[in-house]
Amino acid sequence: MRVLKFVFISIFTALFIFACSQNETSKTNTANGSTNTINNTVNTAPNTQIPSILNNELAAAKKIYSEKCASCHKENGSGGKTDFDGTIINAEDLTTEKQKKESDKDYIEAIEKGFPEDGMPGFKGKLTPQEIKDVVAYIRKEIQKQ
């Protein structure tokens, strides 16, 4: 546990130092009574590594959503009546305000356990816990626009 805390703190510290080094620095030269301001601009381009990691996770989650969820909930999350394995079900509309207010924990539980009485299968053991969390993040960001 201590090693995990140390690694986490080290990564956080490194990211903090890196982010702080991206700022513009100014130096003032007051030799001979004159004041000259020198601006040294460090490359302040956005860090594209972190967003690309998030984009990769969302891309993987989108694929899972398309394969496992979209047949009932639709690609846009609107849900509605659909035929699932010969049974007509009324899949939840994930874009409603009610669904936007549901907690991530509730989404994770629903995906893991499913709603067999309503026709939704559970995905615990079929998807990893991280894949389920990524699908929830995809729903939040891309479908619910949060």
> Which residues, in sequence order, are bridge partners of residue 16?
none
Does residue 109 share a domain with residue 89? yes
Does residue 98 share a domain with residue 65? yes
Domain count for the chain, please give it.
2
Q: What DSSP string runs through 81-140?
A: EEEETTEEEEE--TTSHHHHHS-HHHHHHHHHH-BGGGTBPP-BTTB-HHHHHHHHHHII
Q: The domain containing residue 17 runs over which residues?
A: 2-40
Does residue 80 share a domain with residue 32? no
Does residue 59 share a domain with residue 36? no
Does residue 105 share a domain with residue 56? yes
Does residue 134 share a domain with residue 65? yes
DSSP category for residue 42: -
Does residue 25 share a domain with residue 75? no
User: What's the CATH code of the domain at 66?
Assistant: 1.10.760.10
Each residue of 43-59: pLDDT tens digit? 444 433 444 546 778 89
Does residue 138 share a domain with residue 84? yes
Place of tokens 């669904």: 99
Per-residue pLDDT tens digits of the chain, which is 146 residues long: 565 455 446 554 544 454 555 444 434 444 444 444 444 444 444 433 444 546 778 899 999 999 999 999 999 999 999 988 888 899 999 999 999 999 999 999 999 999 988 889 999 999 999 999 999 999 999 999 99
Tokens representing 91 are: 């899949």
Say how far apart CA 20 and CA 14 lie, in whole Å: 10
Q: Are strands 36-40 and 87-91 parallel, antiparallel or unpaired?
A: unpaired
Does residue 61 share a domain with residue 20? no
Does residue 60 share a domain with residue 32? no
Say how far apart CA 100 and CA 92 lie, in whole Å: 12
Say what the pLDDT of residue 10 is. 52
